[in-house]
A and B are shown apart, each in its own frame.
Chain A
């Protein structure tokens, strides 16, 4: 049940995010368990989740270090897969760019889900703001709770794939971007971008293909001018 301090009109987002958080929590459990079973002391994965709050970056760094690639290569991999947050910050950065502490916290809590939920809220700035904070705070709690449970669970590593959780994340994002795809230019850019990403993904390091997708924006560029002249 959504707590009372959440206004009636934002409770839908709260419920969606809360349901989503179960999946994130289980992925967090697998992260904590994987890190401890790799021989890391408990405080390393716990501190990582609390201070970084970026699942893909944490898994990327852990994977490289566990494979013997070294810390520097691990850091590079972790930051590389995170670069997609630059376009996210450009798109939703204004939602938390108010006081110094909301800037700090909002920046720290920029994730795929909060971006997607905020964009799905449309042009209503108040709703977008609420969606951003509600989803990201819930995800933060779930991610850290999951990590701690994973660390405590010791050798037991759940495989999120068994529950199909790897399908839950793309499906969530797809549902959230779908309203924006009603705009023809956005749809065109997204299709071209997704095709570029899919074609390059087998050959490039994770994190690069989704950035190359931005080339898809060029597909909509020439068509914008005549429309504006007409208006």
Chain B
């Protein structure tokens, strides 16, 4: 990989990031489209949660990972602070793996 490739990726990624706000600035953002765009981002983030919890390297990630995310999710639902949620999720997954559960 060369510096040219590094710059190419940087430019490509920047253009992707630029696409959203540029589209936004071209439309008249109504309250309804604002709601819809925010909902869209939430939907993508939620999908990222699910795929991130279930899959790794193109296959099922094993039980330790979704179990940890589930513990974190339950704590978040019970309104635990974010820090607790994240530490509990990582801790659960790490301990399960330590115990031999993939």
Task: List the interface of chain A (C-beta within 8 A of B).
Answer: 15-16, 19-20, 23, 40, 43-44, 47-48, 51-54, 57-58, 61-62, 65, 71, 74-75, 78-79, 82-94, 96-97, 103, 106-108, 110, 112, 115-116, 119, 161-178, 180-181, 183, 185-186, 189-191, 193-194, 196-198, 201-202, 206, 209-211, 213-214, 216-217, 220, 224
Q: B14 contacts A174, CB within 8 Å?
A: no
B64 surroundings in chain A (CB, below 8 A): 164, 167
Task: List the interface of chain B (C-beta within 8 A of A).
Answer: 1-3, 5-10, 12-14, 16-21, 23-25, 29, 32, 36-56, 58-61, 64-65, 68-69, 71-73, 75-77, 81-83, 85-95, 97
A58 and B86 in contact (CB under 8 A), knowing A119-B42, A167-B68, A194-B47?
A: no
A112 surroundings in chain B (CB, below 8 A): 45, 48
A78 surroundings in chain B (CB, below 8 A): 9, 12-13
Q: A124 to chain B: closest CB distance in Å?
A: 13
Q: B85 contacts A172, CB within 8 Å?
A: yes
Q: Is the interface of B mostly helix, strand, loop or mixed?
A: helix
Q: A171 contacts B55, CB within 8 Å?
A: no
Q: A174 contacts B12, CB within 8 Å?
A: no
A93 and B90 in contact (CB under 8 A), knowing A171-B85, A213-B46?
A: no
B88 surroundings in chain A (CB, below 8 A): 171
A162 and B94 in contact (CB under 8 A), knowing A97-B25, A198-B50?
A: yes
Q: Is the interface of A mostly helix, strand, loop or mixed?
A: helix
Q: A173 contacts B48, CB within 8 Å?
A: yes
Q: A85 contacts B16, CB within 8 Å?
A: yes
Q: A105 to chain B: closest CB distance in Å?
A: 11
Q: B82 contacts A176, CB within 8 Å?
A: yes
Q: B55 contacts A194, CB within 8 Å?
A: no
Residue among B3, B29, B38, B47 having the largest count of chain A Cβ atoms under 10 Å = B47
- Chain A minimum-CB-distance residue to B96: A164
Q: B46 contacts A177, CB within 8 Å?
A: yes
- Chain A minimum-CB-distance residue to B55: A201
A107 and B18 in contact (CB under 8 A), knowing A75-B12, A97-B25, A168-B90?
A: yes
B81 surroundings in chain A (CB, below 8 A): 16
Whole-angstrom CA separation of A59 from B75 in the bound complex: 30
